[in-house]
Structure 1
Amino acid sequence: MGVAIRTADEEDRELVVRLLDAAFQSDPVSGWVFPGAEYRRKNHHKLMAAFTDIVLDEGRIDITEDDSACALWVSVPAGEHGGADEDKEEAEDEGFARLRESIDPGNERIELIGRLTAEVHPAGRAHEYLWMIGVTPERQGEGLGTALVRHVLDRCDGEGLAAYLEASNARSRDLYRRLGFEVSGKPLDLPDGPQMWPMWRDPRV
């Protein structure tokens, strides 16, 4: 049976934030950014809200019709990310600093995760960037995340577009491999924390 998918709008903001917050409470990278279960419960949702706002403004959020899963995508033009443009890098750094200040000023890892993932994000070719994907915990393992990703990958294949993401745990890394992604370069080792895997997928013809 197919999974019906719709595009989110501003009215879906709180739903998306709740989905992402619940889905990533036990994720290794979220645990590194917000160490300790109680601290994470109090603060993690603020970062998910900030990410949701950015993607609602700059990208697209897909949601399953039953409101149990969502995927955040941003279209990246050719030449963006990872370049040597000092003005652009400075603007990115300022953005990460503002993000930290608005969420939890004392938590340097909020700013650091943004800087580190920006450094490994590939430049050159245009691509679709899967920023985050979240499935409510009680529905995980049912193929909803796969359906959301394939929904965009089918379009990428039709338009000759690549896709990129950073896998935040080994389970998702292996799932993305089955969808045609390959680890791109070395894993990203978070300081005193887990690994992330930058992954790239060329369009299939």
Structure 2
Amino acid sequence: MKKARAEDKQLVVAILTKSFNENQSVNYIVKQDNKRESRLKELMAYSFEICYRYGEVYLSDDNTGCALVLYPETKSVLKTIPLDLRLLIKCIGIENAGKAMKRESLIKSQYPKEPIYYLWFIGVLPDQQHKGVGTSLMLSILDDARRQSKPVYLETSTVRNIKWYQNFGFNIYHELDFGYKLFMLKGR
């Protein structure tokens, strides 16, 4: 695993766009119209920028997988306003703003007040999955979180991924229902 550089943004966006194309939670936020694919790319570009500034962006050594980590306590709400507005206009849509804000508020309300290691996205190109890339990324992420003495939190709406996360010591501690189940997990 290596830290992504600013010039790796398009690669990271491409990996995440392909990895999360069918994800229920992502598609709940992304406006569903004839621009859905470009809107999905906007979400991933936004996520890259936020994590690059207020966390870490990692690439697998072979550039087929990535992980975006956020340290929420470091994020500046005022400094992200331009990014947030772009996300609203180019991805979510103004008519979906209330739904998206309510969802984020409910998710954040389930996190502790102490600093956490938030694994926002971990993705591997679909044709490279089941080859150990995600496992290698996850092991490195867990080592990094241990070094920082922070608990790891994440969510998934993909039921088949729950067992994979549990293999790394994650447990479901809460579920939210948005018309799909969002499972909130915490690592040990």
Q: Structure 1 residue aligned with 2:165, among 165, 176, 184?
A: 176
| Alignment-derived partner of residue 180 in structure 2 | 194
| Alignment-derived partner of residue 105 in structure 1 | 94
Q: Are residues 1:59 and 2:55 paired?
A: yes
Alignment partner of 1:65: what SS?
Answer: coil
Deviations 1:26-69 (A, max 9, x none): 11222333365844223111111111111111110110121100
Alignment partner of 1:184: what SS?
Answer: strand
Matches within 5 A, 1:1-205: 5-34=1-30, 38-76=34-72, 98=85, 99-103=87-91, 104-108=93-97, 109-120=99-110, 122-185=111-174, 187-190=175-178, 193-202=179-188
Relative distance call for 1:7 and 1:195 in structure 2 (3 A) is same
Aligned residues: 183
Is the 8 Å Cα contact of residues 13 and 48 (structure 2) preserved in structure 1?
yes
> Structure 2: which 5+ residue stretches go unaligned?
none
Relative distance call for 1:195 and 1:141 in structure 2 (3 A) is same
Aligned-residue identity in percent: 25
Q: Mean alpha-carbon deviation: is it higher for 60-69 or for 111-120?
A: 111-120
Larger radius of gyration: 1
- Counterpart CA distance in 1 for 2:30 and 2:137 is 27
Is the 8 Å Cα contact of residues 31 and 39 (structure 2) preserved in structure 1?
no
Give 1:196 deviation, angstroms.
Answer: 0.9
Relative distance call for 1:161 and 1:115 in structure 2 (3 A) is closer
- TM (normalized to structure 2)? 0.83
- TM (normalized to structure 1)? 0.77
Alignment partner of 1:66: what SS?
Answer: coil
Q: Mean alpha-carbon deviation: is it higher for 31-40 or for 11-20?
A: 31-40
The amino acid across from 2:185 in the alignment is M
